Structure 1
Amino acid sequence: MPLIRPATTEDALTISRIHAAAWRSTYEGILPKAYLDRLRDDHWTEYFAQRIGKGSYKSYVTIVKSKAVGCVTFGPNRMNIAGARQEENWGEIYSIYVLPEFQGQGQGKALVKHAIRQMKEAGYRGCSLWILEANRSSRGFLHSMKFKNDLKPRSFTIMDQTLINLRYSMEFQTK
């Protein structure tokens, strides 16, 4: 089982680098090439430093040979969207990314399981996350983790390209 530890503000640049590398790899052919080409490793550094520093949400990193290779961020569900199975006390996984060279080795699965365990302990009744429709490999990963697509798609635009976002959710089993 991978070593997972809480992220600190000192991890903000590392988490940003993980996101940027994963975006360039995962979203190649999905997001506009010009957008990915301009994506800097430090793009999200300030964002993560602020969120982690304020405790706005939980963030964890997975470590392999003393190096952070993946990260997950989660907390309270940020949206109440018409048509969603939106009960009180639901959490949301805001992001889950693993460096491309470490994907397929169980790091992502361990991070998602850790986030779910933490949300259950915090009293959440379920969790959701958003994913691009065109991201087939990650959708397959979510299905394997027992997440279900439960809401009609939402669209947004990046550099004149319309993208479709899907919400996946999981209701936690009560004992």
Structure 2
Amino acid sequence: MSDKAVAGGSRRALLTTAIVLLQTLVLIGIAVSFYAIGWFGKDIRVRTVPVDPRDLLYGDYVTLGYEISRLNPSLWKDTARKPERGQPVYVVLKTGTDGIAQPVAAYGSKPAPQEGEVVLKGRIDYSWSEEVFVKYGVEKYYVPEGTGKSLEDKASRLIVHMKVAPWGQAKIEGLEERS
């Protein structure tokens, strides 16, 4: 066997190893980013209005609509452009005296939060002159089978406890019923 054949084979093996290692690192990165929300995220609570559909693969889930998903256009602080469908949006939330987070501003790029504020990243679903509707990626919450209907009945009394990471991604920690 020639030296060129041996060198070509070792390069191929090195390239294959590098590709497998890169794929493994990407998968680990995805998993770590999800857990990092819990490690570094700030706690917030928001009011919901759920609807109870069913997913054949995953079972019961509740579709959650949030008060913070309907923004007054006066909260939009990005003067360079108007809110457009599909555009990323960063909503600044501040916890009120009742313990519930309320939107205080919305930007097209990530602002620096002040003390006591959290920046939640979302995407504009649609907007018009009266309201801007935002989706945050936490509108679906899977529940034990058979419990979705009871949550639907409590829709007006639910509070969602979630963690928001410093980069704006959120994850639901649980639901609680308010009195």
TM-score range, shorter chain: under 0.3
Per chain length, whose mean CA-contact separation is higher, i.e. which structure has more relative contact order (CA < 8 Å, sep 6+)? Answer: 2
After TM superposition, the score normalised by the length of structure 1 is 0.25
Greater radius of gyration (CA): 2
**Scaled by the length of structure 2, what TM-score is found?**
0.24
Higher strand share: 2
- Higher helix proportion (structure 1 or 2): 1
